[in-house]
Structure 1
């Protein structure tokens, strides 16, 4: 169980800080919720405490993991399906996993692809979402601001900013 002040990652949403644990009644059912404040966009998210493992909530990455994330970002583009649909599904599965290394690989591959060939609207949206998830976790882990984090990611991949 997490506590107020813990920094956690909510797959598909990004990293945030638990600012409260509240009991709420939703659709006639009372349950405890973590109230998360996200560092980007000043958004708040409610996460049902009982579903934490099922959802894949985890603690944010530490310094060693963040270093490995930058190693992933600096790596070569991995082979992806040529078919847009298959590529999109594969990348979406990686993002849904909540695994920071998988998300970093999606960001790297899509940024490189965008630089070389351009992206469809759907893939551009996917890239922006994946990048925001990565940025939110790095911001909380390293204590640096969003702009600096985005520059570090862009520099690691060595592509112009998206």
Structure 2
């Protein structure tokens, strides 16, 4: 089973309640404002009404669709520690052609997994050491950075600036290692 499939299975088993902080893939941190029941096309359906902080929007997601959407709880401190080990480890996926790389990275961003987002970030940071990124890849890099930094800052109760510095140090170690092994 794919990573995304496992993630969906795990998330479907979860239930969120009012006040829970969540991650909405590609948008970042939000909060469950309410769980409402409404009638859609003649059928009663329960929906999560969420406030997404990054763009100050309200989003509604059917409770039964959280797996497909990729909605997940905020990472734990243990998961953040694991994330930084991954960020420092020097293993960075590389792709030959722009189209394949962009499609793969887009899919990883849509999973909502902080580790998959970090994989995209490491890949694009390494690529930027060799050549300028395209406009779309630069936007993806900035988005990945925002998603990682905002979640890490929330989880470890630090400022975004402190989370950025920690991210920069970890990725710098990884890139240095990757460049040394390819030399």
* Partner of residue 92, structure 2: 78
Question: Is 2:164 the partner of 1:132?
Answer: no
Instruction: Summarize the Cα distance change of 1:77–1:84 in structure 2 as closer, same or farther, 3 Å threshold.
Output: farther
* Worse overlay, 18-27 or 88-97: 18-27
Higher normalized contact order (CA 8 Å, seq sep 6+, divided by chain length): 1
Query: Is residue 146 from structure 1 mapped to residue 136 from structure 2 by the alignment?
Result: no
C-alpha separation in 2, matches of 1:2 and 1:59: 8
Whether the 8 Å CA contact 2:22–2:32 is kept in 1: the answer is yes
Deviation at 1:68, TM superposition (A): 1.0
| Distance of 2:70 and 2:54 partners within structure 1 | 20
| Equivalent-residue separation in structure 2 for 1:139 and 1:33 (angstroms) | 28
Matches within 5 A, 1:9-20: 9-20=23-34
What is the aligned-residue RMSD (CA, Å)? 2.5
Structure with max Cα Rg: 2
Runs (5+) with no aligned partner, structure 1? none
1:122 to 1:77, Cα distance in 2 relative to 1, 3 A:
farther
- Are 1:97 and 2:111 an aligned pair? yes
Shift of 1:105: 1.1
- Which of the two has greater helix per residue? 2
**In structure 1, what is the Cα distance between the partners aligned to 2:149 and 2:94?**
23
Aligned residue in 2 for 1:36: 50
Deviation of 1:2 (Å):
0.6
Residues 93-134 of structure 1 show CA distances to partners (whole Å, capped at 9, x for unaligned) of 111222221111111121222133221111111111222222
Aligned ranges 1:116-131 → 2 under 5 Å: 116-131=130-145
Contact 2:93–2:119 (8 Å) recurs in 1? no
